[in-house]
Each structure stands twice: as C-alpha cells, then as structure tokens.
C-alpha cells in the first residue's frame, strides 16, 4: 500500500516534516496570543474595573470548567471528525470570541465570552494531539513532544513580557486584537496540514467493523483505553498529583514570599520566569535520559518538585533569605521546580502519544484534559485552605515533603510490570 504523503515527508526527519512544522507554527502563534489575552484580561478586570478576589477567581474558573466537563466529549468529536477541519473551525470561532472582548462593558459579558472560548479551546486540544499522532512517525514522537513543550513554555516566558510592553504602549484593546488575529493566522497556517490519512478511522470501525457504538459508548472509550494501559493510568495519577501541588504552589507562593523578610517585590515575577526556563531545560534533559523509564523520570520530577518547594518553606521558617546570594538561591530553587515539572509532564505526554492507538487519541487526550483541569481547579482551593489553616511555611514543608516521599515510592510500582513491557 502506498504511504500517505505526510508519512513519506516525515521519514526525512522531524524538521523536514512540513505538516508537523505547520502544527508547531500554529501552536506558537496561538500560545503567544493567549498570553497577551490573559495578561490584558487580568489587567482590565483587576486594575481598571477593580474586580474583587472572588470575581477574579470566577474569571479563572470560566476558563477551566469547560475543560473539566467537556474533555471526553471533545475527544469523541476529535476522533469522529476530520481533525484538521475541527482545529480550523475552533480557530475561526475563537477569532470572533476574542475580538468580542474589545467591546465588553460588564463582567458578566467577560464570563460568557471566556466560557465560549474555553469550549473551543477544549475542542482544539485533543484534535491537535491526534493530528500529531497522524503526521509524526513513532521514532520521532519523543522529539515532537519535546519541541511542543519548548514552544509552550517559551511562550509563557515571552508572552507576558510582550503583553506588558504592548499594554503600556498601545493599551489593553491592542492585546485582544492581536490575540484575535493570532487565531486567524493559526487557522490559515493549518490549511497546510494534510487531512486525515487513508485508513484512519474511528475506534469502532477499527475494533468492531460491523458495530457503531453510540455517542455515550464512545464517550467512555477514553477512560477504558487508559485503564487498559497501566503505564498511562499510573502516569496520569502521578501527573494529576504533581499538577495539584503545582497549582497550590502557584496560588500561594505570593503569600509565602510575604512571610520572608527583605524579599524584593519583583522576586515573584523572576521566580515564575526561572521556572519556565527550568521546564525548557527539562525538555532537553528528557532526550538525554533515554535509559530511564517514563515513571523513573516522572518520579524524579516529583521528588525534585517536593524538595524544592519544601526548601522554600524552610527558608521562610528560618527567618528568610539574606542578601543577594539568598535571593539567587531562591531563584535557583524555582528553576529546579520548573525542571521537576518538565520531568513529570514531558515523559507522560511522550508515553501518551506512543502508547495510545491513533483511533482513540482524541478521547484519551480529552479524558486527560478533564483530569488535569480538575487538578487545576482543586489546587488553588486546596492551597487556600491549608495555608489559611496552618500558615504558608508549614503548608509548603508538610505538603511538598509528602509529594517527594510518594514520588520515591512510585518510581517502580510492581503492579506496572505487566505483559513483559518495560515500564
């Protein structure tokens, strides 16, 4: 059988794969635009409209809850429909939605537009991951996922800085318009991506040619597929635990820093930036640790995360950091925290792409999106509770020390050694 053109191009090397490069260009433009939009949004409602803390929390929930609830359904659509068309439609609709933010005058209008945008965000994500599976050869998958992570983390570093400059120079409206334009440009770039390759169908067609399960039957296929692959199931559990802890840390780091005498006001921004650079470093480190199994990498990342944040708590208890050397040490800790996060996220994403059947990619990634969104929603709430109850330093020390202990125990779970596979 003649190979599809995208697969023939992929054999020349990942960076010669035009379909993959188009996907990554689309991701880069969209990610940069999104960070402009988020910064402008928080500036508008937090500073210009003087929103209350609960109103700001509600704003973030409007972006997260559709992902929490809609992941599996979006995965079904990504496996049923042509993924390229689904991504282009999602970009086109998000172009209109984000442009609408230019004209809002009330907070409820912001909430409505954010919910609508998040619905199409969750439609785009499993379709994109499924498309990567279509156009990238298995031997290139690790690099493909690493490059995608580099783009995502790099945009988190560049995007806010760019957004701040544009907001000061041209105003909040310009950021919304640029983000809207980024979705339009992303959709145009996706026209260069080939359609569904020949022979790729839904899981029902592949596994049971004579049967066509209903929508609800297909909705559960993502969960069942994860349960059938213990490595993915256990990795998802570790990922959710690490993401929960990260959300606790992200939401409460500013409270911890307030407890440390002499902490510079700009330390929070620098710490976030250094954590992003740490995740970039993890993308390169992941390729060097080829002899380590995915769970070993994830366990090491969890240990690093727990140790770093517990160390930050100990600094607060001991009376804080003294002088420039102490501040440099705190920045180094957050760089290591980003490295730990990358060692958790990237190996899991690589494993997910490698082990998931192409016909189920959308549903599996949609289910993963729902689980990770649940952790993202629960993290700030849980963090607020434990910090209020015990104080920031004790919460960081006890909670993150437990993460390190559990990660060490979870590096080589006996139950994961199944069917002769190397876990």
DSSP-derived secondary structure for 285-315: HHHH-TTS-HHHHHHHHHHHHHHHHHHHHHH
pTM of the model: 0.71
Say if residue 175's pLDDT is above 50. yes
Rounded to whole angstroms, how far apart are CA atoms 186 and 29? 6
209's tokens? 């040619």
* pLDDT value, residue 261: 66
40's tokens? 């402008």
* pLDDT value, residue 1: 38
Q: How confident is the model at residue 384 (pLDDT cuts 50, 70, 90)?
A: low
**Range 83-90 average pLDDT:** 90
Helix axis angle for 141-170 and 172-190, nearest 10°, is 150
Q: How confident is the model at residue 93 (pLDDT cuts 50, 70, 90)?
A: very high
Higher-confidence residue of 263 and 319: namely 263
The rounded percent of the chain whose pLDDT value lies above 70 is: 71
Q: Are 200 and 79 in contact (CB under 8 A)?
A: no
* pLDDT value, residue 196: 67
Q: Are 408 and 275 in contact (CB under 8 A)?
A: no
Say if residue 68's pLDDT is above 50. yes
- Lowest model confidence (mean pLDDT) among 39-48, 204-213, 364-373: 204-213
Query: Which helix (H) or strand (E) element contains residue 272?
Result: helix 267-288
């Amino acid at each position: 059988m003649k190979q599809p053109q995208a697969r023939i191009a992929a054999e020349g090397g990942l960076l010669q794969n035009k379909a993959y490069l188009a996907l990554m260009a689309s991701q880069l433009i969209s990610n940069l635009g999104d960070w402009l939009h988020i910064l402008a949004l928080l500036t508008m409602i937090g500073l210009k409209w003087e929103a209350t803390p609960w109103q700001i929390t509600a704003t973030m929930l409007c972006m997260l809850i559709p992902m929490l609830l809609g992941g599996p359904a979006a995965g079904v659509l990504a496996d049923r429909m042509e993924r390229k068309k689904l991504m282009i439609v999602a970009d086109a609709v998000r172009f209109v939605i984000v442009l609408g933010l230019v004209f809002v005058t009330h907070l409820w209008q912001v909430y409505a537009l954010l919910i609508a945008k998040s619905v199409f965000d969750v439609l785009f994500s499993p379709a994109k991951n499924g498309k990567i599976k279509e156009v990238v050869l298995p031997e290139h998958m690790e690099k493909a996922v690493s490059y995608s992570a580099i783009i995502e983390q790099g945009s988190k570093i560049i995007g806010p800085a760019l957004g701040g400059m544009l907001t000061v120079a041209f105003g909040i409206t310009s950021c919304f318009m640029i983000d809207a334009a980024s979705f339009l440009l992303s959709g145009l770039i996706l026209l260069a991506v080939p359609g569904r390759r020949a022979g790729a169908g839904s899981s029902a067609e592949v596994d049971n040619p004579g049967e066509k399960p209903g929508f609800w039957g297909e909705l559960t296929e993502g969960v069942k597929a994860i349960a059938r692959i213990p490595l993915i199931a256990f990795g998802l559990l570790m990922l959710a635990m690490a993401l929960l802890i990260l959300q606790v840390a992200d939401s409460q780091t500013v409270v911890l820093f307030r407890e440390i005498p002499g902490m510079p006001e700009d330390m929070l921004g620098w710490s976030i930036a250094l954590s992003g650079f740490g995740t970039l470093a993890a993308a390169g480190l992941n390729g060097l640790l080829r002899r380590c199994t995915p769970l070993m990498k994830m366990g090491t990342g969890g240990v690093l995360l727990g140790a770093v944040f517990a160390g930050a708590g100990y600094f607060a208890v001991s009376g804080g950091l003294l002088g420039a050397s102490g501040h440099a040490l705190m920045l180094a800790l957050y760089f290591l925290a980003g490295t730990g996060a990358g060692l958790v996220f990237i190996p899991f994403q690589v494993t997910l792409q490698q082990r998931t059947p192409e016909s189920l990619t959308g549903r599996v990634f949609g289910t993963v999106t729902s689980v990770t969104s649940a952790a993202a929603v629960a993290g700030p709430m849980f963090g607020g509770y434990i910090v209020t109850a015990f104080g920031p330093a004790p919460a960081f020390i006890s909670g993150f020390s437990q993460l390190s202990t559990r990660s060490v125990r979870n590096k080589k779970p006996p139950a994961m050694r199944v069917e002769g596979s190397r876990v």
